[in-house]
Structures are given as structure tokens and as C-alpha cells.
Amino acid sequence: MLVFLIIAQPLVAAETVRVIGVQTLYVPGVYFAPNGTMIGLPSVLRVEGLYPGSGRVYFSTQPLTEVDTQAAARIAALIASIYAGADPLSVDWLVSLTSESPVVGGPSASAATALAMYAVLTGRRIPENVSLTGMIGVDGSIGPVGGIPEKLRAMARVGVKTFFIPSGEEISYEIRRVVEKHGGMVIERVEKVPVNVTALGEELGVRVVPVASFAQLIEEVFGVKPPRVKLTLPSELRDYLMRVALRYMSEAEGNASKAESLYQQLQKSLGGGLDQWVESRLNQSRELLDEARRALQQHAYYVAASRAFAAAIQARQALEVLKLVQLHVEEGVGVLPAARQILDELLNDTESILESVNRTLTALTESRDVNALQVAVGVFERVRLAADAVERSRVLYKNRDVIGALSEAVYAYYRARSAEDWAQTYNLLGRGPAYDTERLRETLSTFTGFAEMLVTYLEKLGVSNEYLAAAQGALNELYAAAEKGLPYELRLPIAIDAITYATLAVHAEYNTAARLYNASRETALYAYAVIASRGVKPILAASYVEAGDETHEPLAKLSYYTRASTILLVLYTLLATGRAPPAIESGEAPETPCACTGTPSTSTVVTSVQGGTVTISKIFTVTKTVTETKTVYTIARLENPETRAMIEALTAGLILGVAAGIIVSIARGRR
């Protein structure tokens, strides 16, 4: 009776919610057979959007699903929303995936999910003979997946005529079973065989189209060509970065000059390769200064400041080591005491700067405006680097590595100063639009889940590389930050690290960075233009893009562009409050006809019950205001069979959960 009373609350104050569209399409999956080969299997993906909503993604599968499928769908919703111009937290999604595979898992359907969500949001229709495979990235890239030949065959069998695959996987590998007879002995083994997927598609009557980004995908499918934009740093930031660059260039030149003078004075006392170490630092400083000067001439101000900053560090490291030698040789101070003397001065200066910067960080996080947020992310990123370097310096000193300790202390000092420099940019921007902390929390949760998904996915594949280890470390740091109660604003840069490293781990494993970094940049520039059109100057993202443009190594480029895209997605989510999907504005709620299922009829009105259970509150159809006491389960009547089945499962779980909680409470009361 008590359970009934809790669940059977009177239902009043209903809010109308509509189904804005449904998309159904075939997507491929693979099943690992007992003999080690893969078998391609068709799955049916169905995506339904409910408006207004709160950005929830409800995932239903037949049969079971793995967590990575659901986490990928949440990122798919973010990418679809920014390209559709909709508020990502204004729509709830009902996603179902039906497959013949025993377990549905992996993020390979996430690009298809994003495409279906985009179609729903914009009122477009996906052609029924189109399918795709690929992992959607937070940077909008279509990432690599396995089993493409098997997936292509599965799609050909169900009548697909156009099949999109991740760019760079035109030559893919298929696992084949090989049986060899040697006399009376039969040997069975599996081997990887390269397959030209494009040629295979021609044989099967399927056009295979490689795509690198979500922007390319919607252009191919719908003819929608997102605008290509050129990065332009805000004038205030350009002027400030130029001043910072000139300051560090002057400092580097001064440090180098002092170091060269001491080097000449102490050269005879420099043995054991120390002379070569000093010369190497000074040479690197000179090269970096030349790069800074060239960057200034090319108006690449962030790059100029970064190169000048690095030049100052290299020259200062040489200078401090030479000071150590001077104290030891000319004043007779022991090596360890001399190092301790220099370290104390450097670390005290560093900690003094960090104390001041941390006070600024507190003010920025309490400001709750988007300009303060992007500045806080940049500042805290540098604070973390400085703090880590301080700790490394102390450990190295304890291990009697005085050269390493001094080098890390110099780096820590300059990193603290760079945090101070970045904090000053808030004065250039001024206060920006306010944001809702709950929106930031939701976005942080989505990013954390996506990073966890990528890490788990790679671990299951047996991947082991430095980027995966860094992603795991960032996730552990993120969990620790949550336990400490660190503000969401300061957890965000850690989450960005986790996503970036996990993304790099994927592309390092598949060797796809060189093919995809332009796609990542494309998304960053598009998002940059969207944010700028709302009157906000995304300076942190702009600095990342410029740094990526001036870097030549593909993974380094991808790192910068991924960071830019991630912070821009955050800003977009915070700024897009109340932006209705274009499908709502046009009044359309199309459902894609698909030969893959008997598509159920779409319910046109869904009612949200205020004051009910949040998880399922926006999935009821109630024909009138209900004042008498009835169970939620009884009045949940939906015209759409698939939607109804999903809600029945959610409601049954709620009832069981409440009942279990009451039983546990009673049991505890008896103890």
C-alpha cells in the first residue's frame, strides 16, 4: 500500500511535448564467430526527438547494449545540434537499435545516430537506401571503425545503395578462415586480408563514399554545405599577444646574454657533458626566437608568444645551471646546497604567483559568465602544468638530479607566469553572457562519459599507447577533482584533457591523424563562427586553432583542433538556451520511410507531467487533467508501440526501484 501511495501521485499541470520527427535506417554491425572471423549483420536504428526536452538520450536495444553505445549517442546529439542550430538541451531522444547480434556495442553507429538526429532537428529525410558506419568524434570527425568489408556485405544484402565509411578506410582488412591440408593433417587458422572496399562495393552494387567529417556527411546526404570560415583573432587579443611575445623575446635575449657571458667565464669548469647541455639550451633558445620573429611578421601572434615563451625558458634554464656551477666553483658551495638555494628562490616566486592566480581563478569561477569560463579554463590548464612541474622538481632534487630539478623549477616559474598572463585576457573581454551552472554540469557529464567510453573501447581492443595512459590519468584526476568538490569550471579543462588524449589514442592506433586533422579543424572553425555570431569572442579556441595551424606533426595538430572543438561545444551549449529546432519552426515532423521495418505511427502529442519522476516525466500522453488517484503505469497511454514499450520498461524499473528502496529502509529501521 505504501508503494502505491508514493507512485500514485495526482497528475496535474501537464506540459505539451511533441514528437518533432522520427528517422529509421539500416546500420551495420559485426558479430565475432567462435572461429575468430567476423560476420556482418544488419541493425535497425530508430531515432525519435521530443520537444521540449532536457537533452536526455534514452537508449533501447534488442538485444543487450554496451555502455559505449549510449555515451557515443550523447556526443552525437551535441554535434547534430550545433550543425542544426538547435539547443542541445531542448530535445529528448528516444534511440532504439535492433540487431541480430547477441550484444550491440561499440561506437560505430554514432555517426549514423548524429545524422538521424540532425535530420530530425532540421526536418529533413534520410534516403531509405543510405547507410553508414563510423565513430563521431567530439571534433566532428568520422573516426575509424573495424569490420568494414563485413558491414558492407551486410548492407548490400538489405538493399543499401550508398554506404558512407570513414575516410582512409577505403583499404580495410577482413578476417578470413583458412583451411590447409597437409597430408592427413588439417590446419585451420584465421588471417587478416586487405580488401579494397570501393571495388567490393562496385561488385555488390553499392556506392562507397569516404567521409572525414560530419560537415562532409550532411553535404553528401542532404546537399547542405556548412560555411567555410577563416580564423581571425579578435583585435584586442592580437595586440595583447604581440605585447606578451615582445616581452618574452626581450627576456629570452637577456637571459641568453647573461648565460653566454657566464659560459665564457666558466667554460673550463664545465665537464661531463655539461658544456654541451648548456650550448644545446642556448641554441634552442636562438632557434625559438627566430621562429617567434617570423610568426610576428606573419601575424601569428599566439604562436609568436608561445615560441618567445619557450625561448625564455630555454635560456633561463641554461642561466640557472651556470649559476649553480658558479656558486660551486667560485664560492665553494656544495652542489646540493647551491642547487637548494637557487631552487628555493625559483619555487618561492612560483608559489607566490600561483597564490595570486588562484585568487583570480576563484573570482572567475564565481562570475558565471562565458568569458570568465573560457579564461578560467586556460588559466587552470597552466596552473596544473606549473604545479606538476613544481612537484617534479622536488622529486628530482630528492633523487640528487640537480640539473633536472633546476630545469623543472624554471619551467614551473614560467608556467605560473603564463597563467598570470592568460588571466589578464578577461580584462580585454569584459563580462560575457551569463550561463546556467546546471547546463555546464550536464555538458561536463557528457564529456566525461565520452572520454570513459573511448578509454573502455580502446582497452577492450587491447590498445596500449602513451595517449591512452594519459587519458586514463586525466580521468583519475577528474574523479579526484569531483571528490574534492572542485567547481565544474575547473573540472572542465581536465575533462578536455581526457577527451583529447583519448581521441589521440584512437588515431595513433589506427594511424588516421594525418587524414583527419583537417576535418577536426573544419569543425572547430565552423563552431568558432557560430559562437562569434552570438557576440562572444572565443579566444581560447582561437589560440588552439592558430597553434595547430603552425604545428607540422599530425597528432599535435589534431590535439589542438580537438581542444578547440571541445571548448566551443561547451560555449555553444551554454549560449544556445531556448533555441528551438528548425523542424519546430517549420512545423514539420517527418518520419523517414524505411523498408527495414514496419515503421510504427508517430504520436503527435506527448504530455509531460510536472512533479512526477524526472526520468520519465516527458514521455506520457494524457488526454485530460487527472485529479483522481491512479498509478502512473495505468495512465501512460502512447500511440507509438516502440515508444510505449520503452516507457513501460522505464516505469517498471522505477516501481521496482522505489519498492526496493522502501524494503531496505524498513529493514534498516528494524536493526
pLDDT for 497 equals 98
Q: What is the mean pLDDT of residues 432-460?
A: 94
Average pLDDT over residues 269-292: 92
- pLDDT given at position 272: 75
Per residue in 94-117, pLDDT tens? 999 888 765 555 688 899 999 999
For the stretch 388-412, pLDDT in tens is 999 999 999 999 999 999 999 999 9
CA-CA distance, 198 to 201, in Å (whole number)?
Answer: 5
Stretch(es) of the chain classified as CATH 3.30.230.10: 18-222
pLDDT score of 621 more than 50: no
Residue 292 or residue 632, greater confidence: 292
pLDDT(600) > 90: no
* SS3 state of residue 176: strand
pLDDT level of residue 620 (50, 70, 90 thresholds) = very low
What pLDDT shows up at residue 105?
A: 57
- Average pLDDT over the chain, rounded to an integer: 84
Average pLDDT over residues 561-589: 86
- Name the grid cell of 648: 513501460
The model's pLDDT over 190-223, given as tens digits with 9 standing for 90+, comes to 788 899 999 999 999 999 999 999 999 999 999 9
If we measure between CA atoms, which residue out of 339, 342, 422, 354 comes closest to residue 389? Answer: 354
Range from 22-31, 139-148, 465-474, 625-634 that averages highest in pLDDT: 465-474
Contact status, residue 144 vs residue 510, Cβ threshold 8 Å: yes
* Residue 579 one-letter amino acid: R
| Strand 171-182, strand 135-136: pairing | unpaired
664, pLDDT greater than 60: no
Average pLDDT over residues 614-626: 30
pLDDT for 375: 97
Could you tell me if residue 12 is left (phi over 0), alpha (psi between -120 and 50 degrees) or otherwise beta? beta
Query: What strands, in cross-sheet order, belong to the sheet with 38-51?
Result: 57-65, 92-104, 38-51, 14-32, 606-609
- E strand intervals along 66-154: 92-104, 130-132, 135-136, 142-143
| pLDDT of 665 strictly over 60 | no
pLDDT in tens, 428-442: 999 999 999 999 999
Q: What is residue 591's predicted lDDT score, i.e. its pLDDT?
A: 54
- 3-state secondary structure at position 167: coil
Residue 578 — pLDDT band, cuts 50, 70, 90?
confident
Cβ atoms of 343 and 393 closer than 8 Å: yes
pLDDT cut 70: percent of the chain above it: 83
Task: Say which residue, 5 or 325, is predicted with more confidence.
Answer: 325
Least confident of 136-140, 318-322, 538-542, 592-596: 592-596
Percent of the chain past pLDDT 90, that is, above it, reads 67
Of the listed ranges 33-42, 99-108, 122-131, 384-393, the one predicted with least confidence: 99-108
Q: Does residue 414 contact residue 309 with C-beta atoms inside 8 Å?
A: yes
* Short-list 97, 110, 100, CA closest to 40: 100
C-alpha triplet 335, 337, 338: angle, nearest 5°: 60
Q: Please report, as a single letter, which amino acid is at residue 64.
A: L
In this prediction, residue 586 carries a pLDDT of: 60
pTM of the predicted protein model = 0.83
Look at residue 28 in the predicted model and tell me its pLDDT.
92
Say yes or no to pLDDT of 517 above 90: yes
| pLDDT above 60 for 44 | yes
Q: Which amino acid is at 572?
A: Y
The residue among 445, 609, 605, 591 whose CA lies nearest residue 77 is 445
More confident site: 644 or 308: 308
The mean pLDDT of 70-87, rounded to a whole number, is: 93
Task: Name which CATH class applies to 18-222.
Answer: alpha beta
Cα gap 224→213, rounded to integer Å: 13
- pLDDT band for position 514 (cuts 50, 70, 90): very high
Q: Is residue 663 predicted with pLDDT exceeding 50?
A: no
CA-to-CA dists, residue 35 to 38, 85, 101, 530, 642, angstroms = 9, 47, 16, 50, 35
Q: How confident is the model at residue 4 (pLDDT cuts 50, 70, 90)?
A: very low
Per-residue model confidence (pLDDT) at position 166: 96
